[in-house]
Structure 1
Amino acid sequence: MRRAEKVTLQLQAVSILRRLKATRTYDELAELTGLSTGDLNRYVNGHVLPGVDRARYVVEECGPDTLAAEIESRITRDDEGYVDNTDVVYDQSLLDLVAAVAAEVNDFGTPDAVLTAATDGITLASAVARHYDVPAVYAKKSRETAVSEFFEARQRLTPGIEITYTLPKSALDPGENVLVVDDFVRSGETQRLLLDLAERANVAVTGVFTLIAVGEGGIDRVRDAVDGPVVSFTSLSE
């Protein structure tokens, strides 16, 4: 591991510990992590960085549950079951940490680009793309006037209702490896459209990562269509 990668991992671990400490005493944090209160105090207050092995332990063992719990605490649902994740997708620092933890604990490989759907998926996709240092590509429901060549994917939901997403042909190069990212999966329709666009662009989808899955039906439909890991960071009941 290169020095820059080590420091990045160590700083990610410190960020997770600070989020945990915000709602816990050092004794509670020590019980949760198995680390001593003295070490935790030094890490949280920035006096020293945890070693690489300890940092990886914090990120891989504590990070997913910690961040999933914070995401779930910020989600609201109305009486009809509609989900509001605004407090999550607007917090770029939280999404940056989610992207780093998700990449650490899942075998997505290193993509050449990250593909998402505008608009709510953009902040998460940007965080994931920054982590891998690759472009973030956005499919849109509206066609750019100045773009003459594009891919188009359509999905009929009910008679008279159809979803269309478009992607400029110049956005992806044939043969690239692409990670599909979105903030939210319920029916799986948007993600299936992104997969359709990827197929039309002749790129390989190495996996799908979503922040929140509601129910099992939508995420299962996505899994059926992808030869690679399909991961939801957190799940909600239907």
Structure 2
Amino acid sequence: MNRAEKAALQLRAVDVLRMLKETRTYDELAETTELPAGDLNRYVNGHVLPGTERAREVVEDLGREALGQELEARIRVDDEGYVDNSSAVFDQPFLDLVAPVVANGFEFDRPDVVLTAATDGITLAASLASYYGTRCAYAKKRKETAVEEFIEARERLQSGIELTYYLPESAIEEGESVLVVDDLIRSGETQELLLDIVETADADVAGVFALIAAGEDGIERARGRTDAPIGALTTV
């Protein structure tokens, strides 16, 4: 980890602590984190930064649990099982907190490209790509007018509807490592199409991640396609 990466990790740890402090006293925060209240006061108020190892513990362990709870509080599921996660995917500062937790709390290798499907996964993909310092690409259901060469993935759904995604061929180079992400994984159909795109590009899968898993079907379907790490921040 270079100096810039260490600084980014330390700053993200402070962001996590500040988020937790919004609903806790310093004594309560100390009980939650098992860190001295005086140290927490200095971190939250920006007087000092936590050391690298302490920052890693905050982001990987505490951050993952805290952000998972925060995400669960933002999700609304209706009587038919449809998930409204707009208060999460529209909140870029929240997603910017999620990015280092995903990068440090899951076993994903650093990707060359973060790939998602338009549209709700774009904000998450952008946050992760920014944190990793890599490119962000997103597949669409229609072709861009000015682009000549595309990677195309098509699947007929159980409903009989044919779902097709297109990605400009230049978005992923052969041999690159690709992290597939989305805001929600339910059936796994979208993730499978994105994995088809990665395969067609002769690229490698770094992992599959979703903010929310609606049940286990999509996760299991993705596991049937790749040996790369697969995870979600929370499950409903």
Q: TM-score by structure 2 length?
A: 0.97
Matched, 1:221 2:221: yes
In structure 2, how many angstroms separate the alpha carbons of the residues matched to 1:148 and 1:3? 41
Cα distance in 2 between the residues matched to 1:2 and 1:125: 23
CA distance in 2, matches of 1:61, 1:42: 20
SS at match of 1:59: helix
Structure 2 counterpart of 1:64, one-letter code? R
2:129 equivalent in structure 1: 129
Match of 1:110 in 2: 110
Kindly provide the amino acid, as one letter, of the partner of residue 149 in structure 2: E
Determine if the alignment matches structure 1 residue 58 to structure 2 residue 84. Answer: no
**Cα distance in 2 for residues equivalent to 1:109 and 1:231:** 13
Closer, same or farther: CA 189–6 of 1 in aligned 2, 3 Å? same
Matched, 1:119 2:112: no
- Counterpart CA distance in 2 for 1:223 and 1:173 is 24
CA distance in structure 2 between the aligned counterparts of 1:22 and 1:159, rounded to whole angstroms: 45
Q: How many residues align?
A: 236
Which consecutive residues of structure 2, in runs of 5 or more, have no partner in the other structure?
none
Aligned mates of 1:139, 1:5 — CA distance in 2: 29
Q: 1-side partners of 2:2 and 2:149: how far apart?
A: 41
Distance 2:70 2:119 in 1: 22
The ranges of structure 1 where at least 4 consecutive aligned residues each deviate by more than 6 angstroms after the TM superposition are none
Letter in 1 for 2:65: D
Aligned residue runs from structure 1 range 140-159, under 5 A: 140-158=140-158
**Structure 1 segments unaligned to the other structure (5+ residues):** none
AA paired with 1:210? A
CA drift of 1:49 comes to 1.0
Give distance in 2, aligned partners of 1:213 and 1:95.
16
Deviation at 1:159, TM superposition (A): 5.5
Pairing of 1:12-91 with structure 2 (within 5 A): 12-91=12-91
Whole-Å separation in 2 of the counterparts to 1:211 and 1:191: 13
Distance 1:41 1:175 in 2: 46
Amino acid across the alignment from 1:87: S
